Amino acid sequence: MKFTEEHEWLRPEDDVIVVGITEHAATQLGDLVFVELPEPGIMVSKDDEIVVIESVKAASDILAPIDGEIVEVNEGLVDNPALVNDDPLGEAWFFKMKPSDPSQMDDMMDADAYAKYIG
Amino acid sequence: MSDLNTTPLHALHGELGAKMTPFAGYDMPLQYPAGVLKEHLHCRSQAGLFDVSHMGQVILRTPSGDAADAALALESLVPVDLLGLKPGRQRYGLFTNDAGGIEDDLMIANRGDHLFLVVNAACKDADIARLRARLDGLCSVEPVTDRALIALQGPGAEAALLDLTTACRDMRFMDVTTVDSDFGPLWVSRSGYTGEDGYEISVAADRAEAFARALLEDPAVAPIGLGARDSLRLEAGLCLYGADLDPTTTPVEAALTWAIQKARRTGGAREGGFPGADVILRQMAEGPARLRVGLLPEGRAPMRAGTEIFAAPDDDTPIGTVTSGAYGPWIEAPMSMAYLATHATEPGTVVFGAVRGKRLPATVTALPFRPAQFKR
């Protein structure tokens, strides 16, 4: 599993990458009340704002961590945004991507590096 | 942090694991480990304890020792019938300015030989200055700086307080009284700002922590932070000064004319006589150009403060703006308060909010979003 400085996790699963946000991010955001997901099938570039989330406090974006195609989104989050707080690393994945260039993940943090990053 | 004020419950907040935030010059609990959603629902279903010690407590006293004399003097600053406020009763009020705008909202209690005011933290210095300037020679204006203020709200509030003192059982909504307790004299009002039954209790600063701990021993009582306090008051349709009310907004526009009793209205026994009376009474007669309403957005996206509202999806000119918006945990839907052009304020009217470049529909609705649970 890899981690970004934007507090996303990326988990390879067969030929796609599953993306979610970390427990640290979920805690910082507070209770989520709204999730808006991208359309499956669209091509995105790294750092595109592709997901909108709102917590009890504020709205924020989730950025595409790499270039690629969105192949699947987790519609369950739209009906139950609180799942992100309950199980951020498991059931509450946001989307699956087919990467254009898997080497973009090479420089990302591993679990130990991310743990140090969030202090 | 060093220049922030703290309340007498500051150490307790730390012990309870609160996440603190600066608010009106005070270091205040934003939330506890339970989080805003759970705190909100806990207050609605059981009982919540709120530290509101940052708010201003002020006593108005006249040489005569008769609260009625202080009431008459204060009527020159607020459009409220205070001569009609009986001993042991409290009313909601507004400080207005010469343009008819609102300088602060407050609670005014008649405690027999004096009036007791509770004002917003961010406004308290200005309020005290305003009171002193206007009431000089009529009333003494005494800020109460050695007492904490604790709100206990929710269906379990009565039972939790009765465990400590049985004297508050027969109080009705907006009654005020003083009770002796193990924590010294408590100045109790049966009121609050959540839409729930409950109390606001002024307690000596050096007894406040022990009092709060005693309340928290009741398993029904949980500490609630400012985050849930905001969503609770919004669900209850109650205004937040600085967001929904400000010096450019009149009580008529704010749909608060219920707080201007008959005696102060046109044709009343003491018509006008408060700052901006000409503007406010004219607006009451002619109707305001804009009005505060509730909005229920379709879908789940909250329309937050600042969201522009349009009559049609492709209109260029907004008809209003959201002043408070959040997710309502009890109604399980987003909710907003907005000021809209009066022609669009009929409940059921569909309007459109600009959210992230889209125009999303919302329905104008009567406030509150959740009916009040007061013990009348």
pLDDT per position as a tens digit, A13-31 = 999 999 999 999 999 999 9
User: What's residue B2's pLDDT?
Assistant: 62
Judge whether residue B154 has pLDDT over 80: yes
- Within a domain: residue A110? no
Indicate if B40 and B186 belong to the same structural domain. Answer: yes
* Three-state DSSP string of B323-375: EEEEEECCCCEEEEEEEEEHHHCCCCCEEEEEECCEEEEEEEECCCCCCCCCC
**Set of chain A residues whose Cβ sits within 8 Å of the Cβ of B42:** none
User: What's residue B339's pLDDT?
Assistant: 98
Indicate if B156 and B39 belong to the same structural domain. Answer: yes
Q: Give the separation between CA B15 and CA B94, rounded to whole angstroms.
A: 36
What is the average pLDDT value for chain B, to the nearest integer? Answer: 97
Q: Among all residues of chain A, which has the CA nearest to that of B229?
A: A56
- Residue A115 — very low, low, confident or very high, per pLDDT cuts 50/70/90? very high
Whether residue A56 lies within 8 A of chain B, CB to CB, comes out as: yes
pLDDT per position as a tens digit, A76-104 = 999 999 999 999 999 999 999 999 999 99
- Within a domain: residue A117? no
- Within a domain: residue B308? yes
Token pair 């943090």 is found at A109
- Within a domain: residue B47? yes
Whether residue A40 lies within 8 A of chain B, CB to CB, comes out as: no
Q: Which residues pair with A68 in a beta bridge?
A: A44, A99
Mean pLDDT of A39-59: 94
- Within a domain: residue A109? no
Query: Which CATH number do you get for residue B369?
Result: 2.40.30.110
- Give the residue from B235, B253, B269 where a domain finishes: B235
Q: Give the separation between CA A21 and CA A24, rounded to whole angstroms.
A: 8
- The answer to whether the CB atoms of A78 and B231 lie below 8 A apart is no
Per cent of chain A over pLDDT 70 is 100
Number of domains chain A contains? 1
User: What's residue B296's pLDDT?
Assistant: 98
Indicate if B152 and B229 belong to the same structural domain. Answer: yes
- Within a domain: residue A112? no
Buried/exposed code over B336-349 (b: 16+ C-beta within 10 A; e: otherwise) = bbbbbbbebbeeeb
User: What's residue A57's pLDDT?
Assistant: 85
Q: Among all residues of chain B, which has the CA nearest to that of A55?
A: B327
ipTM: 0.85
- Give the residue from B190, B206, B235 where a domain finishes: B235
In this complex, which of B38, B231, B302 lies closest to A54 when CB atoms are compared? B302
pLDDT per position as a tens digit, B24-45 = 999 999 999 999 999 999 999 9
Domain region containing A28: 2-101
Q: Give the separation between CA B56 and CA B307, rounded to whole angstroms.
A: 31
pLDDT per position as a tens digit, B320-366 = 999 999 999 999 999 999 999 999 999 999 999 999 999 999 999 99
- Within a domain: residue A44? yes
- Within a domain: residue B150? yes
Mutate to test the interface with B, among A27, A32, A33 (most CBs of B within 10 A): A33
In this complex, which of A31, A59, A81 lies closest to B35 when CB atoms are compared? A31
Domain region containing B36: 10-51+146-235
- Within a domain: residue B104? no
In 10 A of CB A111, how many CB atoms?
11
- Residue B166 — very low, low, confident or very high, per pLDDT cuts 50/70/90? confident
SS3 for A65? coil
Judge whether residue B89 has pLDDT over 60: yes
- Within a domain: residue B330? yes
Query: Which CATH number do you get for residue B17?
Result: 3.30.1360.120
- Within a domain: residue B86? no
- Residue A58 — very low, low, confident or very high, per pLDDT cuts 50/70/90? confident
Number of domains chain B contains? 2
SS3 for B61? strand
Mean pLDDT of B168-183: 96
Indicate if B304 and B374 belong to the same structural domain. Answer: yes
Estimate the share of chain A in helix, then strand, then coil, as percent rounded to the nearest 5. 25, 40, 40
- The answer to whether the CB atoms of B36 and A78 lie below 8 A apart is no
Distance from CA of B214 to the nearest CA of A (A): 29
- Within a domain: residue A26? yes
Query: Which CATH number do you get for residue A6?
Result: 2.40.50.100
What is the average pLDDT value for chain A, to the nearest integer? Answer: 96
- Within a domain: residue B294? yes
Task: Please indicate, yes or no, whether the overall pTM of this predicted structure exceeds 0.80.
Answer: yes
Between chain A and chain B, the number of residue pairs with CB atoms below 8 A apart is 42
Judge whether residue B100 has pLDDT over 70: yes
Residue B297: closest CA among B334, B272, B341, B342: B334
- Give the residue from B191, B218, B235 where a domain finishes: B235
